[in-house]
Structure 1
Amino acid sequence: MSKVILKKKIAQRIANGHPWIFSNEIDKTEGAFDAGGIADVYFHDGKFAGRGYVNPQSQITVRLLTRKKEEINDQFFHRRISEAWEYRKKIGYTENCRLIFGEADEMPALIIDKFNDYFVIQTMALGIDVWKPAIIKALEDIFSPKGIYERNDVPVRELEGLKQQKGFLSAPFDTSIVITENGLKFHVDIENGQKTGYFLDQRDNRRQIQHIVKGADVLGAFTYTGTFEIHAAHYGARSVYGIDISENAVAQANKNAQLNGLEHVCKFEAVNAFDALKTWAREGRQYDVVMLDPPAFTKSRETIQKAITGYKEINLRGMKLIKNGGFLVTSSCTNLVQPELFLQIIDMAAKDARKKIKQVTFRAQASDHPIVWGMENTNYLKFLVVEVTNK
C-alpha cells in the first residue's frame, strides 16, 4: 500500500472529515503512486487519516473513501451502495432518487440516479472510474435493474485524464422513459437530457408553489422541460407561460404538458430569457408569479463575480414583472454561491428594483441529496420564495 504523508500545516477540514486532499497539502509519498490506485494517508504526526484513491494528474490528488483501515474491494462498494439505499428508504425516497451523492455518501466523484428501475451513473474521477465494474455489479445484485446507462459526457473528467463518453452499461434499452413525481408524469431523456436526464433535486421544492399559484398568471424562465410550470398548472394556475433558449427542452416541456393533460394551461416557447425579461419589464408586462430556475452561472471561483452579477440581474428583471403582492420563485444551483450570499444578491436586486420582499420559504435540495456540514459542495441548491410588493 502506497503512503501519502500530509504537511504539518494543512486545512483543518481534512481532520474534520472532508475527503479532498490537494497536491499542495502533501509533504511526501512512499511506495508506488499509481494513478487510480489506493493509498493510505497519514497526518504529519503519523496518525492515520484515511484511505482513498489517488491521481497525481489531478489538483485533488487524493479523495478519501474511508477513515478506517478497511480493504477497498468489490464488497466495499456493494456495502456502501446498500447503506445509501437503506438511508433513502428511511427518509422516503424510493421510486426516483439520487442514490449516490458523491462525497455526501462517502463515494467521492460518484453520482447514481435511480429512475424507476433504470440507473444513470457518472464517475467523474479516475479513482472511482476504475471501480465502475464493481459498482455496476453491486447495482445488479441489489436492484436487478432494467437498465444502467453511463452519462460521463462531462468536461470535468478531462481534468482527471479521462475521456468524455456515454452509453449502455447493461443490455440496451429505450432511454426515453416516463417517471412520476408528486402525482405528475414526466418524460426523462436519459441519453441526451441535461446532467443525468432530469433534475431530481428540485422535487420537494416544486410542491412549495402549490398555494401561491392558485388562480395565478405564471411566468417561468429557464424552464428546461417544464417541471415547475406543469406543477403550477396542476396546482390551479390560470395560465402558465414558460420560456427556455433550448428548442429541444421546449419540445419536451410541451410533451410533458400534454402527458398530464395540461396543454390548455401551459404554453412553452424557445426564447432567450435574459433578453425577454428585460424587454417585457420595459413593456410593462405583469404576472402574479414569476419563477426563475437558471443554470449554474459559474464553475470556478475566478468568475464568481460574473455569477453574482447574473443572478442579481435576472432577479431584478423578474421582480419588475410581478404584480404588487405577487410572488418570486427563484433558485441557484451554483455551489460557489453559498446560501447567505444568495440571499444578499436577492436583497440587492429588490433594492435596485425598488421593491419590498417578504420571505415565504427558503430551502435547499431534496433530502436524497444529503448536505454534510463542512462540505460546501454538498450544500449547493438554494430555493427561495418571496412576496414582492411596491415600496
Structure 2
Amino acid sequence: MFNMTRVQLRRGEEGRIKGGHPWVYRTEIETIYGTFEPGDIVTVEDHRGRFIGRGYINPASMITVRLLTYNRDEKIDKAFWRRRLAAAWDYRQRVLQGTRTDAYRIVFGEADFLPGLIVDKFGPYLVVQTLALGIDRFKDTLVEIVDELIQPAGIYERNDAPVRELEGLELRSGFLKGPFDPLVIIRENGLKFYVDLAGGQKTGYFLDQRENRAAIQPFVKGARVLDCFCHTGGFSLHAAHYGAREVLGLDISAEAIAVARRNAVLNGYGDLCFFEVANVFDALRELERREQRFDVVILDPPAFVKARRALEGAIRGYKEINLRAMKILAPGGFLVTCSCSYHMPEDLFLEVIRDAASDAHRRLRLLARRGQAPDHPVLLGYDESRYLKCLLLQVL
C-alpha cells in the first residue's frame, strides 16, 4: 500500500506538523506528485521537497494525510504494526500497574502513533474501532496481531461511529473473534459494572474518567450526592462505595438508567442509589424550585461542542448547568464539573465556571484540575489528545 506518491506542503505549513501534530489538512497541501488509491501510504514533504513523514491519504477527508512515522527509513509493514501495538500494550501494563481495574484503553489513536485506531479492553474481551480509511485497510492485520499479543477471549468491532462516514466508510459492528455474550462485567476501583459492548455508548463505557471517579472519595462520605448525566452510574456507584448517605443519578437515556439500576444492585447499593430518566437542564431547574440541597453535585455531560462553530452554544450550556448546580449546593458543598469537548479549552471552561458562580452569588475554591486517565495519554504537539477537563471545586 506504500507507493512513491509525494504530498508537498505549501510554504510555511510545515511548522505544526514538524512540531508533532500528525494531521495534514487539505488546505495545507500545495501539490501531490504521483498517483494513489485512497488509503495508500504516501510521503509528506515541505515546500522544498524535504522529507517530513509518511502516512496514509484520504482525499475525501479534510484531514487528508494522517502521519504514521517521521522516520524516512521505517517501513510500514507487519513488523511496524507489531512494534506499535506492542509498545501501546507495554505502556498500559506500566502505567496501570497496581490499579484495581480490568478495563482500560489499549490503543488511543494518534497518541499511540496509530491514527484512527481505538482498542479497549473490558475484562477478557476487546473492542476495536478503525475510524479512518487508512487504518481500516489494515484492520485484519491489526486484529491478528492484537489477538496474538493479548490473547483475549473475544473481540468485538464497534465501527458504528458516524465519524467513519466522513472518511467514506460504511458503519458496521459485530464479532471479530467470538461469538460471546456482549453484556460483560468489568471491575473498577473495587466496584463491578455491567458493560454492553454491542449497544453501549462509544465502545461500551467511559474509561477515561476512572481516576476522576476515584478522586471524589474525600468529599462524599455522609453526603447527599446528585450525579447529573450519570450514564450507567459510574460516579454514582463510586459515591455510594465511598460512604455517601444518598445518591440520585439523572440521565436522559432510559437504557443507561436501566443499566445503572442493575449496577447499583450488583454492588449492593440498590437501596442507596436512585436513578431517574430526566432532562438534566429541566431537572436542575425543578430541584432549585423545590429548594432541594445537595452536598455534592457531579456534572459529566456529553460533548456540548463537537465543532468549533458550536462553541458559543456550548458555553451557554455549560454555564447553565453549572449555575443551577451551584444554586442547589449547600454552603461548603463540592462541585465536580467536567467537559469532554476538545474545542472547550480549560482556561475558557474555568472562565465559564467563574461566570456561573458570579451569577449564582457563590464563591469558588479550586481544589484540583484533572484530566483523562493515563491509558488515554496526551501527546504533546497534538492538542486534540487532551480533551477531558475535570474540575473539583468547593462552593462557598
Measured after TM superposition, the shift of residue 355 of structure 1 is 0.4
Please name the residue that 2:191 is paired with.
184
Give the partner amino acid of 1:377. E
**Match runs of 1:107-146 below 5 Å:** 107-146=114-153
Give the partner amino acid of 2:77. N
Distance in 2 of aligned mates of 1:310 and 1:40:
43
- The answer as to whether partners of 2:20 and 2:380 remain within 8 angstroms in 1 is no
Please name the residue that 1:371 is paired with.
378
**Match runs of 1:125-274 below 5 Å:** 125-274=132-281
Measured after TM superposition, the shift of residue 68 of structure 1 is 1.0
Q: Is 1:87 equivalent to 2:62 in the alignment? A: no
Please name the residue that 1:54 is paired with.
57
Measured after TM superposition, the shift of residue 200 of structure 1 is 0.6
Please name the residue that 2:343 is paired with.
336
TM-score by length of 1: 0.98
Match 1:40 to one of 29, 34, 43: 43
Please name the residue that 1:387 is paired with.
394
Give the partner amino acid of 2:52. A
After TM superposition, where is structure 1 displaced by more than 4 Å over at least 4 residues in a row?
none
Report how many residues are paired.
389
Distance in 1 of aligned mates of 2:234 and 2:345:
24
Please name the residue that 1:30 is paired with.
33
Please name the residue that 1:284 is paired with.
291
Superimposed CA distance per residue, residues 103-139 of structure 1 (whole angstroms, 9 cap, x where no aligned partner) = 1100111111111221111111100100101110111
Measured after TM superposition, the shift of residue 386 of structure 1 is 0.5
Q: Is 1:6 equivalent to 2:6 in the alignment? A: no
Q: Is 1:74 equivalent to 2:78 in the alignment? A: yes
Please name the residue that 1:16 is paired with.
19
Of the structure 1 ranges 87-96 and 15-24, higher mean CA displacement relative to structure 2 is found in: 87-96
Measured after TM superposition, the shift of residue 147 of structure 1 is 0.8
Unaligned runs of 5+ in 2: none
Measured after TM superposition, the shift of residue 73 of structure 1 is 1.6
Superimposed CA distance per residue, residues 1-41 of structure 1 (whole angstroms, 9 cap, x where no aligned partner) = 21111111215211101110011111111122210011011
Measured after TM superposition, the shift of residue 50 of structure 1 is 0.5
Please name the residue that 1:325 is paired with.
332
- The answer as to whether partners of 2:129 and 2:159 remain within 8 angstroms in 1 is yes
Give the partner amino acid of 1:169. L
Match 1:316 to one of 314, 323, 330: 323
Distance in 2 of aligned mates of 1:350 and 1:163:
45
Distance in 1 of aligned mates of 2:308 and 2:329:
32
Distance in 2 of aligned mates of 1:304 and 1:168:
37
Distance in 2 of aligned mates of 1:197 and 1:217:
28
Please name the residue that 2:311 is paired with.
304
> What SS does structure 1 have at the residue aligned with 2:302?
coil
Superimposed CA distance per residue, residues 260-297 of structure 1 (whole angstroms, 9 cap, x where no aligned partner) = 00111101111111101012112211111111110001
Give the partner amino acid of 1:316. L
Of the structure 1 ranges 185-194 and 369-378, higher mean CA displacement relative to structure 2 is found in: 369-378
Give the partner amino acid of 1:174. D
Measured after TM superposition, the shift of residue 171 of structure 1 is 2.1
Measured after TM superposition, the shift of residue 175 of structure 1 is 0.3
Measured after TM superposition, the shift of residue 95 of structure 1 is 2.8
> What SS does structure 1 have at the residue aligned with 2:330?
strand
- The answer as to whether partners of 2:227 and 2:298 remain within 8 angstroms in 1 is yes
Identity, in percent, stands at: 52
Measured after TM superposition, the shift of residue 239 of structure 1 is 0.4
- The answer as to whether partners of 2:102 and 2:188 remain within 8 angstroms in 1 is no
User: 1:352 and 1:11, CA in 2 relative to 1: closer, same or farther beyond 3 A?
Assistant: farther
Distance in 2 of aligned mates of 1:388 and 1:333:
22
Distance in 1 of aligned mates of 2:209 and 2:317:
21
> What SS does structure 2 have at the residue aligned with 1:122?
strand
Coordinate RMSD, CA, aligned: 1.0
- The answer as to whether partners of 2:337 and 2:391 remain within 8 angstroms in 1 is yes
- The answer as to whether partners of 2:14 and 2:46 remain within 8 angstroms in 1 is no
Unaligned runs of 5+ in 1: none
Distance in 2 of aligned mates of 1:17 and 1:325:
43
Superimposed CA distance per residue, residues 30-74 of structure 1 (whole angstroms, 9 cap, x where no aligned partner) = 122210011011111222100100001111110000001211122
Give the partner amino acid of 2:83. R
Distance in 2 of aligned mates of 1:376 and 1:126:
22
